[in-house]
Homo-oligomer: A and B are copies of this chain.
């Protein structure tokens, strides 16, 4: 992106993830907290999934953050399905999805129950989101870059309505709760993204020396072991609970059956798991996402 004209700060895309919801509540009462951070852009606050937030559930009818592929957006669908309707509304107002979108940047705030600290999820090799995220990793503790490359038109995530996006995952925090220390650092990170967008628009961020960062790139998701009926029959091995971003080698114990037997990781290469034991992913059949770690100059 040459210049960032329009920015959305969003939260509540999952209605039980309170960090973003509470950040929007706070900022909408006190716009001075964010409006002066990036005066060269129009910054808008968007509470994406209002119905699910009222229920304090991830979603009402279907996962809103899996509803933004071009296919789904162009599908007539069930008018009774809240998220399908809401995705179309958001697309009409802030898209349309694709190169003609009126939104340059989306910062979408999420929570996870996995011990992932502050995970900056990058969906494309966009120069601003890469440079800004690399700065943030050096400025804030417990902050990590997860690169999850997306074919943008097919991607189901809200952020992909914009030309570029960051999904900020904050955890560990049980859904439906709010933790003060995570809230406060998440707010500072979002503010810094806005300030860095301002630096970008003034051509300053581009002149800074690139930063060396660890990048965790999506490799593949793996499910829990399951029985014939589809019920999980093993748990995350106790070693792996709260060990997101650690190295997992072929043959290492990874799951534990209910009888206490350890099951090894059957992959053939070293990987770095994240989103370990996230409640919302049981129904998606994801026990964790495996990533590959590289050191890069961003």
**What residues make up the interface of A, taking CB atoms closer than 8 Å to B?**
16, 22, 25-26, 56, 113, 172, 174-181, 183-184, 231-232, 235-238, 241, 256, 258-260, 277-280, 282-283
In the complex, A279 Cα to B183 Cα: how many Å?
A: 16
In the complex, A186 Cα to B232 Cα: how many Å?
A: 18
**B260–A174 CB distance below 8 A:** no
**B236–A174 CB distance below 8 A:** no
Other than A179-B235, A181-B241, give 14 A-B pairs with Cβ distance below 8 A: A22-B258, A25-B231, A26-B259, A172-B174, A175-B279, A177-B279, A178-B232, A179-B236, A179-B277, A180-B236, A180-B237, A180-B241, A183-B235, A184-B260
Contacts of A280 in B (CB 8 A): 176
Contacts of A231 in B (CB 8 A): 25
**B26–A258 CB distance below 8 A:** yes
In the complex, A282 Cα to B175 Cα: how many Å?
A: 11
In the complex, A177 Cα to B277 Cα: how many Å?
A: 7
CB-based nearest B residue for A280: B176
In the complex, A102 Cα to B186 Cα: how many Å?
A: 54
Contacts of A26 in B (CB 8 A): 258-259
A180, A181, A280: most-surrounded residue (chain B CB, <10 A): A180
**B179–A113 CB distance below 8 A:** no
Contacts of A260 in B (CB 8 A): 184
CB-based nearest B residue for A181: B238
**B177–A282 CB distance below 8 A:** yes
In the complex, A237 Cα to B22 Cα: how many Å?
A: 16
Minimal beta-carbon separation of A99 from chain B (angstroms): 38
Complex A-B: 12 CB contacts under 8 Å? A22-B258, A56-B283, A113-B174, A113-B177, A174-B279, A176-B279, A177-B277, A179-B241, A180-B238, A180-B241, A180-B256, A184-B260
Minimal beta-carbon separation of A185 from chain B (angstroms): 11
Contacts of A236 in B (CB 8 A): 179-180
CB-based nearest B residue for A171: B174
Minimal beta-carbon separation of A245 from chain B (angstroms): 19
Contacts of A238 in B (CB 8 A): 179-181
In the complex, A89 Cα to B13 Cα: how many Å?
A: 39
In the complex, A26 Cα to B282 Cα: how many Å?
A: 19
Q: Which 4 pairs from chain A and chain B are nearest by CB? A: A176-B279, A113-B174, A180-B235, A181-B238
In the complex, A180 Cα to B113 Cα: how many Å?
A: 16
CB-based nearest B residue for A183: B235
